[in-house]
Amino acid sequence: MRIGELAERAGTTTRTLRYYESRGLLPARRAVNGYRTYDEGDLRLIQQIRTLQDFGFDLEETRPFVECLRAGHPAGDACPASLAVYRRKLGELDRLIEQLRVVRTEVGAQLARAELEASAELPGGPEPRCELGG
């Protein structure tokens, strides 16, 4: 298939496919007429890359999965290098989740403080104004 058909079937753009090619993730095969040619295996590579990117993997992190598929394995995560990337990504996600928990706790505490202050009547303080009413 040609690049336009591959892009359409993969749900991406020809520009993206050329970029993957420039990064060495997609093979650069050409027909005698000079057109790029691709096969079903190339579609699997693109689908693997896009799935991983949807999960938050950067493009370079997809390389072991692509290489695993190119080596003839039925799945991109069947190789030790791919499993190592999964492990690193899980560690990264665990750290981000913990950071978000800390931030959530701090925001919750700020909200509780602000609500308590807002509910306390301060003598002589200005009345709150709501500018939404018009």
| Digit-coded pLDDT (tens) for 61-118 | 999 999 999 999 999 999 999 999 999 999 999 999 999 999 999 999 999 999 888 8
Q: How many C-beta neighbours within 10 Å does residue 61 have?
A: 19
With contact defined as beta carbons under 8 Å apart, do 65 and 76 qualify?
Answer: yes
In single-letter form, the type of residue at position 25 comes to L
Cα angle for residues 104, 107, 111 (degrees, 5° grid) = 135
Longest CA span, the chain: 86
Torsion 104-107-109-112 (CA) sign: negative
Q: Is 134 exposed, middle or buried (0-12, 13-18, 19+ CB in 10 A)?
A: exposed
State the pLDDT confidence band at 120, using cuts at 50, 70 and 90: confident
Tell me, yes or no, if the pTM score tops 0.85: no
